[in-house]
Structure 1
Amino acid sequence: MRPLEEVDIEVSGPAALTAPSLGTLRALGARLDATPAGVSPAAPPGPARFAATGRRLGEVTAYTAWADVLPDDDATDEATVQAATGMMHVHGRRDGAPRGLAVDYAATCASVLSVQGLLAGLLGRARGVSGAVELGTGADRAALLTLSQYLAAANAPEAEAVPSAPGGPPFTSSCGTAFELEALEPGPWARFWRALGAPEEAIRAGWRPFQFRYATACAPLPEPLHATARAASWARVRQAAASSGAEVCAVYPLAGHPAARSGEPWTVTPRDEPVSASAESATPPAALPLAGLTVLEAGRRVQAPLAAHLLGLLGADVLRIEPPGGDPLRGMPPCCTEVSARWLALNRGKRAIEIDIKSPGGQGELRELAAGASVFLHNWAPGKAERFGLDAERLASVNPGLVYAYTSGWADRALPDAPMGTDFMVQARTGVGEAARPVDEPPAPSLMTLLDVLGGLLGAGAVLAGLLLRERAGRGVRVESSLLGAAELLTAPAVHRAAGGRAPRRPAGFRRPLPTADGWLAPSDAASRTAAAAFPTLRDLPTDQAVAALRARGHSATAVTTDLAALPADPRVGAALTRDTHGSLVVPSPWRFL
């Protein structure tokens, strides 16, 4: 049985908001009816609609619009959503000016969240904790969620640990090979650059901005490091990496990535042994869909913590497993009342317990916790769970009904020359760096953590699919999601364009904001050409006047947010942003239950 077997789903609305999830719904077993509007770019205006009906499950409907928080005029498509929420600003930090992502990132995330809402609603119905369910989300809500760490940091009372300034990888070798570098500790970083003959002062000065690039979306590295790379052959760069413990990966074109698995960005595998009914069904009706379920999360960085955060927003009790002394990222600047604003964006509301999983006693303690949990979720390095006796088979022996979830980098796929499974390395290897930029920009992975965040969303969706399958089939389930799956979902439109004989990359200037007298504005994709042609007569106007002038001519446009610290005062979105008990900024939940 698959999670959505014998479930009928009707899909309609703009293709940008529906198409990313159609393959996933089919892979989960749904009987899919996608109306012509659901697969056509010329769909009529209005929200996307996913309506699921299953025998003994009832009906659940998810609505997805471009604007759910923003005013309708400021969020008409992918370009305007990226502009108004600050996504263009964060992606453009490396280049020193706002830049639109050439992939439909906000729409893809919103589509994934719609499927999560369907799965959660059906699960709630199956568990008897909710009645008829309707829920809404939006591309603007999805965008704010993906930016939550950057927004929290920008609105904290402390300054960033490193200055935000243009610059960053990839590097380029003497033969013209663009490459990403990964070093998680200062030792491998220093040994790599010393092997290439870089100046010691530049090596020391470059480590901190390189280390924090995941947090700041930029890395103003000393020019001597780039010069050192340009003086070395690709063969020498690879030798330096091999001898130092660092890793390098050439920035691959889309054509250099093997064909993706069809349909699914995750795997859902039920166990053979049936399990007895759970006491979880005693949860009172009318609660959130995951009320009464306990999620054990042993995650670090972004991917697994974000997945668990989303499960918590759906009602689960999340217990976070941290090493002795606590998660070191709790103190990562900038802080709000001595707690990292970025850490709070992913972990607020979770309980925490410190366990030394490297010790036999700690491993036994975690197995005891797993015996009473619904989900165990981690993103450890490959082989670590097996080494500590905390793999799916071992935990199934103490809890046959457990949903065991692994959020990985490469999903055990044997890709040639696959590097370490971190965000920027996976972007480089899978062609995301090419798909995310138009043809007049050199391919380069975005320093906004595209895959960590989308991978976290996919991880939450995989857990929800596993929980629904467990509820329907009465068996424990192992699920796996990956950064690779996120990359393949994000690049699918470009791959399809290439398969149809069209250019995979977007044309020159695609989603490039237009400068005004006091800032930037972004026209919608449909209005970009006519707006650019009209703009020489408008560029000396203040942004609000230029936007009004374009709208008066029938063109959709909005101001580009270039200061995340000013977003709480922005009338377009500020009312949706709140503060937690630490004073840290909180973005709205990605779902509204109607």
Structure 2
Amino acid sequence: MGNLPAITAIRPLAEAAVRAVGPPALTDPALRHMRALGATTVESAPAGDAAHLTMGCPELGKVTADTVWADLCPEADVADEATAQATTGVMHVHGRRDGQPLGLAVDYAATCAAVATVQGLLAALLGQVRGGRATHVTCGADRAALLAVSQYIAAAGAPEAEAVVLEPGGPPFTASCGTRFELEALEPTVWAGFWRSLGTPEQAIRSGWRPFQFRYATACAPLPEELHAATRTVSWARIRQAAAASGAEVCRLHTLADRVAEATADAPWTFAPSASIGVPPPRDLRCEDARPLSGFTVLEAGRRIQAPLAAHLLGLLGADVIRVEPPGGDPLRGMPPCCSNVSARWLALNRGKRAVQIDVKSPIGQVELRELVAGADVFLHNWAPGRAERFGLDADHLAAVNPRLVHAYTSGWGGRLPGAPIGTDFMVQARTGVGEAARPADEPTAPSLMTLIDMLGGLLGAEAVLAALLLRERTGRGVRVESSLLGAAETLTAPALRRAGVGREARRPAGFRRPLPTADRWIAPTDDSARAANTQSGHLARLSSHEAVAVLRDQGLTATVVTTDLAALPIDPRLRGVLTRDPHGSLVVPSPWRFE
């Protein structure tokens, strides 16, 4: 490890060559990311139903990867993006706002799988540098999709009920001029102030807060109609005034055409060497077991989803993750529903981590954190902009404590959109056109209430940390790396933006990935089988879902039953018993990778 020649470029895969064969949905996101990480020769050929990637670097070695639609499920049930979404519950969660399962018009499972594949390749290279033997990684779109809905699965499998009713409804809101917009209010006083300034009845304000507050967790928000009525009677200018006066944030739904007109980044993350003086010899970090990050220590000071998920993934890869929580512990530990008095949703992102309580606002707490940083490999956080600098815990200050530290910041906007609203999932969806890309042409544009961007942002955060660790091994220096929710949105909408950029229709056609009703449930055909299946919708509606699938398969078409009960996934024969329970009794989805 210590004898590797240093490189000068701030790109972890400089001098690496990558070749990919497979469907573009599975290969394109991975290739874009590896190019941005410095891979110099990339060849691609669209062939087959699975992606095979080969990456070699003279200094590091050679690794290969397979990205498949079905690694857990039968190929008859998960054969493309539509059936991956249907089987794993993604269609069900995304459709909660509308009261029926709906397919995402973006290739969400494939994109998550592609990013996870890059993670696996980077992790395997890191393991090889440190004496590990893994040379091949397999990632399934079904695995990635289960990870994406893991919080919802954990909540559905908990013995307690949800804190709010799961019924259709939610933002966006509409002004009198027709402007559709998202609202963000993180405190009840801010929420109440916004609606009072619009003359909304007090009862509607009070009853609307709780479903609005929990919409991140439930993917729906059955709000009182009075709230929607209040915005429809006033202008967009008046709504902006109310937001400014109350401290709330509003953002109109931007279109994909808006995004095409704006400059976008070549990569969803940035890397820079740490500003350190003198580099101590590296610690002996041999890879002691089959997991490639064995021996690494990650400090995580995260909130909500993005940073906690990134650290969770690093833990699955073998890192020892120490979670930094405020005095009294993370308040989200008690978020209902709970398993053995611990939030099922919290466990989905934080199980297996060690925890320490530190008041980072106090000088004593800042000293305590620096002491932990001195023995860590990674410090990962998603604090509000400027907070790390205010406490002296930014990359430059911590580099003086540990010159080889990877300082990872998972932000909202990456500092790239001046004047952007607060960087939360739904506001990022609204600002970047995700609400348009995620829905076919016959559905009103609206951000998904499934936390699409937080989850993909967490995946990108883990990818960035792995790339930074690899860069550290190649240069011997610490690294400052930043990923963002904006980068996640750009990764997800890239195909739609390319279509819009050349004058093609950016949105998918009417009815795209629309499940078909049957006598008892719903079925989802593959994208290639959808046209033929739709011509038989009247006949299929009179059959049970399993009968309807059998009829289509007899005709050489491919379809599967749509999961509409997440609590039943552990006994779903398609998943072959892969869901387990942790010591608290909370449901656990499998790792997104297999290493060999």
Give the structure-1-normalised TM-score.
Answer: 0.97
Quick one: distance in 1 between partners of 2:369 and 2:44?
48
Secondary structure (helix, strand or coil) at the match of 1:281 reads coil
Quick one: distance in 2 between partners of 1:280 and 1:363?
27
Match of 1:469 among 457, 468, 471: 471
1:51 and 2:54 aligned: yes
Letter in 1 for 2:397: R
Secondary structure (helix, strand or coil) at the match of 2:76 reads helix
Quick one: distance in 1 between partners of 2:334 and 2:347?
10
Deviation at 1:62, TM superposition (A): 1.3
Deviation at 1:12, TM superposition (A): 1.1
> For residues 180-231 of structure 1, what are the alpha-carbon distances to aligned partners after superposition, in whole Å with 9 as ceiling and x for unaligned?
0000010000000000000000000000000000000000000011111111
Quick one: distance in 2 between partners of 1:356 and 1:83?
43
Q: Is the 8 A contact 1:295 1:376 kept in 2?
A: yes
Match of 1:413 in 2: 416
Q: Is the 8 A contact 1:59 1:132 kept in 2?
A: no
Letter in 1 for 2:395: A
Q: Is the 8 A contact 1:25 1:32 kept in 2?
A: no
> For residues 125-166 of structure 1, what are the alpha-carbon distances to aligned partners after superposition, in whole Å with 9 as ceiling and x for unaligned?
1122x1241111100000000000000000000000000000
Letter in 2 for 1:521: I
> For residues 486-517 of structure 1, what are the alpha-carbon distances to aligned partners after superposition, in whole Å with 9 as ceiling and x for unaligned?
00111110011112221000000000000000
Match of 1:153 in 2: 155
Superposition RMSD in Å: 1.1
Match of 2:271 in 1: 268
Match of 1:231 in 2: 233
Letter in 1 for 2:211: P
Match of 2:42 among 14, 30, 33: 33
Secondary structure (helix, strand or coil) at the match of 1:319 reads strand
Q: Is the 8 A contact 2:134 2:595 kept in 1?
A: no
Q: Is the 8 A contact 1:26 1:263 kept in 2?
A: no
Secondary structure (helix, strand or coil) at the match of 2:52 reads strand
Match of 1:81 among 65, 81, 84: 84
Secondary structure (helix, strand or coil) at the match of 2:196 reads helix
Letter in 2 for 1:336: C
1:321 and 2:324 aligned: yes
1:359 and 2:366 aligned: no
Letter in 2 for 1:181: L
Deviation at 1:537, TM superposition (A): 2.1
Q: Is the 8 A contact 1:518 1:542 kept in 2?
A: yes
Q: Structure 1 pair 348/555, CA: closer, same or farther in 2 (3 Å)?
A: same
Match of 1:102 among 81, 86, 105: 105
Deviates more, 1:22-31 or 1:303-312: 22-31
Deviation at 1:566, TM superposition (A): 1.1
Match of 1:16 in 2: 25
1:293 and 2:296 aligned: yes
Quick one: distance in 2 between partners of 1:446 and 1:101?
9
Match of 1:205 in 2: 207
Quick one: distance in 2 between partners of 1:263 and 1:558?
37
Match of 2:283 in 1: 279
How many percent of aligned residue pairs carry the same amino acid?
Answer: 69
Q: Is the 8 A contact 1:272 1:475 kept in 2?
A: no
Quick one: distance in 1 between partners of 2:275 and 2:323?
29
Deviation at 1:538, TM superposition (A): 2.2
Deviation at 1:272, TM superposition (A): 5.7
> For residues 441-492 of structure 1, what are the alpha-carbon distances to aligned partners after superposition, in whole Å with 9 as ceiling and x for unaligned?
1110000000000000000000000000000111110000000000011111
Deviates more, 1:221-230 or 1:20-29: 20-29
Match of 2:378 in 1: 375
Match of 1:507 in 2: 509
Deviation at 1:369, TM superposition (A): 0.6
Match of 1:492 in 2: 494
Letter in 2 for 1:208: R
Q: Is the 8 A contact 1:268 1:465 kept in 2?
A: no
Give the structure-2-normalised TM-score.
Answer: 0.97
Deviation at 1:574, TM superposition (A): 4.8
Q: Is the 8 A contact 1:578 1:587 kept in 2?
A: yes
What 5-or-longer segments of structure 1 have no aligned partner? Answer: 38-42
Letter in 2 for 1:477: V
Deviation at 1:269, TM superposition (A): 1.4
Secondary structure (helix, strand or coil) at the match of 1:166 reads coil
What 5-or-longer segments of structure 2 have no aligned partner? Answer: 1-8
Letter in 1 for 2:28: A
Aligned counterparts, 1:383-394, within 5 A: 383-394=386-397
Q: Is the 8 A contact 1:51 1:61 kept in 2?
A: yes
Q: Is the 8 A contact 1:58 1:132 kept in 2?
A: no
Quick one: distance in 2 between partners of 1:498 and 1:412?
25
Match of 1:423 in 2: 425
Secondary structure (helix, strand or coil) at the match of 2:154 reads helix
Secondary structure (helix, strand or coil) at the match of 1:558 reads strand
Deviation at 1:263, TM superposition (A): 3.0
Deviates more, 1:559-568 or 1:270-279: 270-279
Quick one: distance in 1 between partners of 2:459 and 2:134?
24
